[in-house]
Structure 1
């Protein structure tokens, strides 16, 4: 082995603690960078990637089975512009009821024996594909709140059909093209088609050109030309589905990018700090090597190799760890985006690994070349401790504090090497910013979730569900006929424990300047504003006043205070916009107003549901039982469902995981730099021990040396985290066209910010514990012999 090789090997073996720290820091930093990079990739065109992965259908067409045969439909696969087709699949429209006798949304069921097709290869989220009659796979988009999405093993009933067929849910799947709400075997469709109903077929097409509506329409016309007139009863373009899906997923892109960038920047900062510190501690040894005849170039090569060996080991393990972390994380983002990513994109691994090694090489080269260029006598004179006079002002200042001397000595240490201290502050600030951001993001999302809560108890039209008799199929609840509002309001207001109530009815109106209808949500009662968050203006207080969300104002080019025209059942209504509210219903295009506003157009419009808030301490179950007795079957009171949207759970889980990673990297960075400081001052430590410093005092001195940096890092990092939270949350909303109320954005309390600031101190102390214990155990004679 060459002399240079022996120097490298001895350097790596002699500094075992530093070698292990470098490997650990690079491992965690690379893992965070792999995860961050993967999240940024997952944020790029998620719908388009899912569409490509599932070979989505550019055109979904519905046909009348009485006017076209299956063979004729199969022949349309050769229509101009069509590159691939699947079908025909028999279809049926059904109105299912779940295990709890609750009506589910009407869905179209397709008879399809095979899941993985050249067009619309459906992705299974749970369970398996149908294999025979009596089974169904339901479509899921992963966004329904817990308790509302049927699960594998549930039974859905179709009470509108003869014999009330029952289907067991054997799987949950997702079609990026949204071609059906459920799938059964083809032979099951006949039993699901009502007597006298027209049978239907579905065809799925992929097109050679489908980037514009005109291109899709041209292909549709070509398909239609191949069948009899009137056979094509409906068609949907993938561009329509894409618009809706992108609007949902784009909310989370700023979040993923923010944490991805944090992970990558944190990795760069910590790796650079660790390597620069590792080389700087070898300055004295570099002088010895130069005195023995090593050239500056050989010195640089030696110390670069010493840094690369543990760094390469850590980077390799970090890539493996990052890939292992990405698998469960991507399974969560797949639920948001509908993608089927199963691992890291290979180029992410390559870029992160190469980037880490290049960063280590450049940092080590820069630090070693600086020492290598110095004259041998100057390098030997530098030694391992700071130059005389550096930080003396801080030592004199802290000595005046009414604190034990070991503590004041530690407090003065950071000022001896200002640049190194700045790197520790930066690492702690990153960790603090990540924690502040994650907690703030979770609080903001919880506030958004709270806007969907409109009461403690809900009253719905129809009688209470009844248990079926043995052998009897479950029965649907009483048809939702609006109950008499006078009777319902009388029962609600008379019930002890009622704090407030609101009744709501839904209808559709047209708005001047908009081409399609929009939903109108009409209220009665004294608590209609409960759960809503105002952005500007006020809540409506009289007829002909409305409140709307930001997308509505944007689409109609109006603002609060303007008057617009609504048309309801042919009657034009002049209404005034009195408030801008945060309301995501109907993608922010919903009109919210008093029921009396619509009375001129729909005098018989009645509330279908009622939301009730209770006084503090009222027992919900007892209240519901008493109210149902008072309603006497005219309507049904139930406890309002509680739960957090799955998407919010996913975001909070990701934020927690990434925060732990970043805090770990920050703590390891502090650990490494404190180890360097402790080793550089080991001779001073021996002097202190010889003068009577006890192990406990030694630990106090080392920990005190990071107190100032921890506090500064926390003070710097907490505001950065707040800024990042505001930037990302407003970016998430702005990407969907919404503005946010102050209650969603301004979620930090002064006491919380103070705790986040102290969190920097916690990171610093955590990172300094191991070096402090090591320093307390060093023997005095060993420390005094070290120079």
Structure 2
């Protein structure tokens, strides 16, 4: 063991540059992976991030009448309560903007946000005593298309109208507003609440606990203290998390795939660098065996040495992120800072580096085992050729005066050895993952720029349920009046019992036989006949049926039999939707009337401008909403995908430097022969650079080609599992894919230029030792 340690110490002194490169490569890769994990946690679970940043309340208590002040104040003294938000005097109100209405619960608060359950202002400012106004929770603001500075019409319980200016938009770790569900949240000053809801007497108070597991016991204590007859509603943090979890599940699955791929690529890159270093010391290993080292000692020496490198690099990378991660400017630093307080942080900080070390250890063990099999007598170079024999094609190319650098570079890049395939595969893996990330990015772009291709052809949904709303031909003329409206499609939705009456699905009628709705059909055809329908993937999976089958369901006690002729992309209700025309549903119920209208706008039209025009023409009697776009809940993925591409680029650069270093070392053996046949140092340098370029070109072709195929497959798999259905994947533009491949090749050429120049200028005496 002592001899092994002395040899390891001597080897470190003799190869300091290689040792430093391996350590720094491991540290950089681990640091990049941890930053990527921090961004994954930051973006894949936005509710948890908001709850952590705002010191959210674990439970909200809403009272019917003004509770005893002493009782409300006494909530902070309950056992297990870490902090109290409020109590806030609240009042119900209806907000209206651009023809859109939303019910909200206004909370009277001060000019300083509370410490517990603090709303996180993302746009605009908090309430100011001089300006007043209202701060809207982000989900309400999104439904109302409200931005800071906009004016809203507010109607209180007495029906009187008031005008409020939007001071800001904030995020809160509470249940989001959904039309037809619980009211949203708005924060106003006490004087503003007195104007809007002067007789409001309800209260809301939030409790943050030391231990969330004591929630039920604490709620029982609080209800007993306030009086069960005065508590109208109890909202627990699990409810808000469950509602948000359905939107975050797709992001979590997407990021998990990317994270595992990045971890594998990082481990392969680090193990490749270690394997290359061991192969570069075969002559030293032979000498060690010649002086008496056993194969076991050689294996243990390399294993201990490189495991120490891996542990040191991992420790440096982990420590750097733990200490300096939150100080990085921008979203990355914010994500690293918030991540430290999120659940699972400690497990990930230990698990990711440990997983990388285990993978590196496995690769190092294999490389060290090969080192132990090296014979004690150095073999001549002829027994270990560094390249394949010159082929007839190569000889003819030289005869046609093709530059020798190209011929020799091609010959060295593809020596027809299994090790070359492994090198290309390790270099292609980061490029494959980058291409997969670009496929996901392009799919998000299509959701945003061409929603009609993703099952959202209508930009606006209009309901005429208010008193004084136009109806019949008058409503049709009002909806088609704006020049930006391309088509108006009536619609109706009903709940239907599935066969066996064990569950319900959504039966939807859209469009008419003469003006069919433009469904995005990706399998089969559109419904254009009586009793024909298209269905989402979620419904096909639920009922275990296929396109072409007939489905019998029960609607309001009456049977409805439909022929599924196509599968459409359905982003709503988990894809458990079957759609036909309004005419087909009217055959079952002649008294059926449309519940809403979907408006398809012309390309380039602004939905907000059309909404303003319709609201003004109808005198505010129409309820106009923007059709939800799945891209809204997937928007956080953009920043994470961009960061992931940067991490993968760093991993690819590490692998590229390893490939170049190995190539330069191997070509160093050929310097005598290349100079002997008349090649100049410039030609030798060009041959080495060309070798790196050809290797990168092959890796780029494989990585981008397989990345497009696997990326499309993965996105479609995610779409199918979410119920939306396969067929949503969109490949990036060919120019973008070509630029990724070109960047890899140019990066390889640039990185190989300096080492190749130095190797070509070495003296012949320095190369004599390379022959053995």
What is aligned with 2:22?
Answer: 22
CA distance in 2: counterparts of 1:361 and 1:507, whole angstroms: 59
Structure 2, unpaired ranges of 5+: 177-181
What is aligned with 1:610?
Answer: 599
1:254 equivalenced with 2:253 (yes/no): yes
1:529 equivalenced with 2:517 (yes/no): yes
CA distance in 2: counterparts of 1:495 and 1:176, whole angstroms: 38
Give 1:693 deviation, angstroms: 1.9
CA distance in 2: counterparts of 1:494 and 1:122, whole angstroms: 41
Give 1:342 deviation, angstroms: 7.4
What is aligned with 2:437?
Answer: 438
Give 1:437 deviation, angstroms: 0.7
> Which residue, 664, 688, 712 being the options, matches 1:678?
664
Point out the more displaced range, 295-304 or 186-195.
Answer: 295-304
Name the SS of the counterpart of 1:583 in structure 2.
coil
What is aligned with 1:187?
Answer: 190
CA distance in 1: counterparts of 2:481 and 2:42, whole angstroms: 54
| Correspondences of 1:457-606 after superposition (within 5 Å) | 482-483=469-470, 486=473, 500-505=486-491, 511=497, 513=501, 520=508, 522-523=510-511, 528-530=516-518, 532-536=519-523, 538-541=525-528, 547-552=534-539, 561-567=550-556, 574=560, 576=562, 578=564, 579-588=566-575, 592-596=579-583, 600=589, 605=594
CA distance in 2: counterparts of 1:545 and 1:572, whole angstroms: 18
What is aligned with 1:166?
Answer: 164
| TM-score, with structure 1 as normaliser | 0.74
| 8 A Cα contact 2:406 2:687, kept in partner | yes
CA distance in 2: counterparts of 1:452 and 1:340, whole angstroms: 40
What is aligned with 1:148?
Answer: 145
| 8 A Cα contact 1:670 1:764, kept in partner | no
CA distance in 2: counterparts of 1:43 and 1:612, whole angstroms: 32
| Correspondences of 1:709-748 after superposition (within 5 Å) | 709-710=695-696, 712-714=698-700, 716-718=702-704, 720-722=706-708, 724-726=710-712, 728-736=714-722, 738-742=723-727, 744-745=728-729, 747-748=730-731
| 8 A Cα contact 1:699 1:775, kept in partner | yes
CA distance in 2: counterparts of 1:527 and 1:11, whole angstroms: 79
CA distance in 2: counterparts of 1:496 and 1:181, whole angstroms: 33
Residues 628 and 659 of structure 1: CA distance in aligned 2, closer, same or farther (over 3 Å): closer
| 8 A Cα contact 2:99 2:624, kept in partner | no
| Correspondences of 1:348-427 after superposition (within 5 Å) | 348-353=348-353, 367=367, 370-371=370-371, 374=374, 376=376, 378=377, 381-382=378-379, 387-388=383-384, 391-393=387-389, 395=391, 398-401=394-397, 403-414=402-413, 416=415, 418-427=417-426
Name the SS of the counterpart of 1:270 in structure 2.
helix
| 8 A Cα contact 1:433 1:721, kept in partner | yes
Residues 508 and 333 of structure 1: CA distance in aligned 2, closer, same or farther (over 3 Å): farther
| 8 A Cα contact 2:89 2:200, kept in partner | no
Residues 49 and 185 of structure 1: CA distance in aligned 2, closer, same or farther (over 3 Å): closer
CA distance in 2: counterparts of 1:40 and 1:563, whole angstroms: 43
Residues 551 and 297 of structure 1: CA distance in aligned 2, closer, same or farther (over 3 Å): closer
What is aligned with 2:103?
Answer: 106
> Which residue, 134, 137, 147 being the options, matches 2:135?
137
CA distance in 1: counterparts of 2:107 and 2:691, whole angstroms: 69
What is aligned with 2:179?
Answer: none
Name the SS of the counterpart of 1:247 in structure 2.
helix
> Which residue, 745, 748, 752 being the options, matches 1:767?
748
CA distance in 1: counterparts of 2:234 and 2:12, whole angstroms: 68
| 8 A Cα contact 1:26 1:318, kept in partner | yes
| 8 A Cα contact 1:535 1:739, kept in partner | no
The CA deviation string for residues 639-671 of structure 1, in whole angstroms up to 9 with x for no partner, is 999999454443233223212322332233132
Name the SS of the counterpart of 1:249 in structure 2.
helix
CA distance in 2: counterparts of 1:637 and 1:142, whole angstroms: 15
Name the SS of the counterpart of 2:383 in structure 1.
coil
Equivalenced residues, count: 737
Give 1:417 deviation, angstroms: 7.8
Name the SS of the counterpart of 1:692 in structure 2.
coil
| 8 A Cα contact 1:40 1:256, kept in partner | yes
Name the SS of the counterpart of 1:106 in structure 2.
strand
| 8 A Cα contact 2:22 2:309, kept in partner | yes
| 8 A Cα contact 1:28 1:661, kept in partner | no
CA distance in 1: counterparts of 2:361 and 2:437, whole angstroms: 33
Residues 777 and 231 of structure 1: CA distance in aligned 2, closer, same or farther (over 3 Å): closer
CA distance in 1: counterparts of 2:163 and 2:562, whole angstroms: 50
Name the SS of the counterpart of 2:102 in structure 1.
coil
| Correspondences of 1:272-291 after superposition (within 5 Å) | 272-288=271-287
Name the SS of the counterpart of 2:763 in structure 1.
helix
Residues 485 and 431 of structure 1: CA distance in aligned 2, closer, same or farther (over 3 Å): farther
Name the SS of the counterpart of 1:95 in structure 2.
strand
| 8 A Cα contact 1:130 1:183, kept in partner | no
Give 1:315 deviation, angstroms: 4.3
| 8 A Cα contact 2:443 2:731, kept in partner | no
> Which residue, 201, 226, 233 being the options, matches 1:199?
201
1:785 equivalenced with 2:766 (yes/no): yes
| Correspondences of 1:227-246 after superposition (within 5 Å) | 231-236=230-235, 238-246=237-245
What is aligned with 1:474?
Answer: none
Name the SS of the counterpart of 2:255 in structure 1.
helix
CA distance in 2: counterparts of 1:444 and 1:503, whole angstroms: 27
CA distance in 1: counterparts of 2:103 and 2:489, whole angstroms: 24
Give 1:349 deviation, angstroms: 4.0
